[in-house]
Amino acid sequence: MNDKLLVAKTLAAVLDGALSESEITKLLETPKKSEMGDIAFPAFTLAKSLRKAPNLIASDLAEKISSDAFEKVVATGPYVNFFLDKSNTVATVLTTILKDGAAYGTQPQNGENIAIDMSSPNIAKPFSIGHLRSTVIGDSLAKIYQKIGYNPVKINHLGDWGKQFGMLIVAYKKYGSEAAIRENPIAELLKLYVRINKEAKVDPTIDVAARDWFLKLENGDDEALTLWQWFRDESLVEFDRIYTELGVEFDSMNGEAFYNDKMDEIVDILAEKDLLTESNGATVVELEGFEIPALIKKSDGATLYITRDLAAALYRKRTYKFEKALYVVGNEQSGHFKQLKAVLKKMGYDWADDIFHVPFGLVTKDGKKLSTREGNVILLEPTLKEAVKRAQTQIDAKNPDLANKTAVAHAVGVGAIKFYDLKNERLNGYDFNLEEMVSFEGETGPYVQYAHARIQSILRKADFSPEKADLSALSLLDDESWEIIKLLQAFDATVARAARTFEPSVIAKYSINLAQAFNKYYAHTRILDENDEKNARLALAYATGVVLKESLRLLGVDAPEEM
């Protein structure tokens, strides 16, 4: 039983119905200092209804409670403080982790699907840090939800449609070189795109031509489609390289273009429900409480981003019957997702309430906004390479004889970037500082990985195996062990909170706390000393290793056995 539940049940039994178990659970607090016990009940919440002084209520309650499940129960001022029976908790936590291994905290399958729209870069443009954030946060949320019993469906809603392809075709036909694009696809396509946009500012015919080409594309013109397909294929080769580096896979690569033949239905439903109005020749849905209506079709009949998203939402609901659908997309698009949900609601789809925009903040570099024009850019592939190189340098210095150094450096370098991204609450942006990310000190991925590797090295030295572990002489009553035990015990509640709030940072912070608690223990205790407690100490180290590795896995970060 979970400890809060135990306390709530115990209190309910002596409160004679003054409060229900669930009311009590909500009131329970965790004392700031461990001298004050493990769980506290604020008795002053009962002062009014019982017409008694809070301190008196607290001391009466403490007196009435007699339970073997607690080491002691004492009144301190208006609080009833519960001290858990440590040896009981130690035994339960450690035997469970030894038995379950990586499955510790995994909830049974609930048969529900969760659709996760993630990564979704734009064809013919560089893969930005925003898309990296979406990829890494989305991938972690998929793992977290899987852990609590869901079946995640990871969808890469590629930006592979829109007027920009009209622009690109115009540019290619004017100055493009097939060979140059084959050589260096995204860089070349980006050059064309930048050049044509500059030109469009002074030459209005370019915009007209681009619109024509996009309409041709929407109408299935052969030449337009062939060029589009080529740009798309070339871009995907580059994106796939990045996904391989990151170790991220998708269940669906259906981008915006996939919905081309699915938008008529949306327009039909909107018309049927009488939701469409004309505005300056365009077709829109008026939305109460919004400054601008949702633009469904332009005056020339071209469809828009939101039209494709409406079709995508309906398609996903039908195909995956999702219980929840997440969209991991930058905060700057929150207006778009509010509109999307509002239109779906107007269409009569109550499941619009199961759609969640999971926004995240901006990354800066040297405290400044990223801007291609001002040269403040982070190019992803070279940055990943540099992170691995820096990891390699540190490993060479720390552990020159390490086997498979290259693989470890990759896990550390790439893991460092992911971890740094995920440890920040997602709505807070952060400054991209590779040096800090890859450091073995501080609240970093390498720090947590190193704690895990240290544990494995201790276990190897002791030739420990969980099957052979003898827990008969458990004690571990020192403060440092107790800190670890309490964290291990809180693992499933932590995963649940990360899922509920769509916040991988909850897991990242937890893993830092656990690594720090272990390092403190390690500094105080000679784990390998021969005495009665050695087995229990090894079991504690083992359990910590299991949970550290599992926490990192939920963040998409590997945990090398040695480093």
Tell me whether residue 120 or residue 456 sits nearer to ligand ARG (CB atom).
120
Does the footprint of ligand ARG cover residue 117 (CB under 6 A)? yes
**Span near ligand ARG by CB under 6 A; candidates 58-66, 114-122, 185-193, 443-451:** 114-122
# of chain residues touching ligand ARG (CB under 6 A): 9
Give which of 411, 409, 116, 120 is closest to 239, Cα–Cα: 120
Residues 45-84 vs ligand ARG: string with x where CB under 6 A? ----------------------------------------
d(CA 27, CA 41): 7
Q: Which of 157, 298, 317, 423 binds ligand ARG (CB under 6 A)?
A: 157
Q: Which of 3, 38, 188, 309 binds ligand ARG (CB under 6 A)?
A: 309
Residue pointed to by tokens 């008694």? 52
- Cβ 334 to ligand ARG, closest distance in Å? 12
DSSP-derived secondary structure letter, 311: H
Report residue 537 as tokens: 């100490």
- Cβ 119 to ligand ARG, closest distance in Å? 9
Tell me whether residue 86 or residue 317 sits nearer to ligand ARG (CB atom).
317
Give which of 240, 232, 311, 226 is closest to 270, Cα–Cα: 311
- Cβ 133 to ligand ARG, closest distance in Å? 11
Three-point CA angle 181, 159, 359, nearest 5°:
130
Does the footprint of ligand ARG cover residue 120 (CB under 6 A)? yes
d(CA 71, CA 87): 9
Residue pointed to by tokens 């458990």? 474
d(CA 252, CA 239): 14
- Cβ 53 to ligand ARG, closest distance in Å? 58
Residue 282 pairs in a beta bridge with 279
DSSP-derived secondary structure letter, 45: G
Helix ranges restricted to H, 28-128: 47-50, 54-64, 86-100
Q: Which of residues 317-336 bind ligand ARG (CB under 6 A)?
A: 327, 329
**Span near ligand ARG by CB under 6 A; candidates 2-10, 116-124, 314-322, 438-446:** 116-124
Tell me whether residue 329 or residue 538 sits nearer to ligand ARG (CB atom).
329
- Cβ 309 to ligand ARG, closest distance in Å? 5
Does the footprint of ligand ARG cover residue 159 (CB under 6 A)? yes
Phi, psi at 446, each rounded to 5°:
-55, -35
d(CA 244, CA 184): 19
- Cβ 329 to ligand ARG, closest distance in Å? 4
What does each C-alpha distance from 77 to 53, 59, 60, 81 come to in angstroms? 10, 8, 12, 10
- Cβ 355 to ligand ARG, closest distance in Å? 10
Look up residue 338 and give its amino acid: K
DSSP-derived secondary structure letter, 159: B
Does the footprint of ligand ARG cover residue 360 (CB under 6 A)? no
- Cβ 360 to ligand ARG, closest distance in Å? 12
Q: Which of 10, 113, 122, 535 binds ligand ARG (CB under 6 A)?
A: 122
For CA atoms 457, 460, 466, 469, the dihedral sign is: negative
> For the chain, how many helices (H) and strands (E)?
22, 13
- Cβ 120 to ligand ARG, closest distance in Å? 4
**Span near ligand ARG by CB under 6 A; candidates 115-123, 390-398, 419-427, 467-475:** 115-123
Interface with ligand ARG by CB under 6 A: which residues? 117, 120, 122, 157, 159, 309, 312, 327, 329
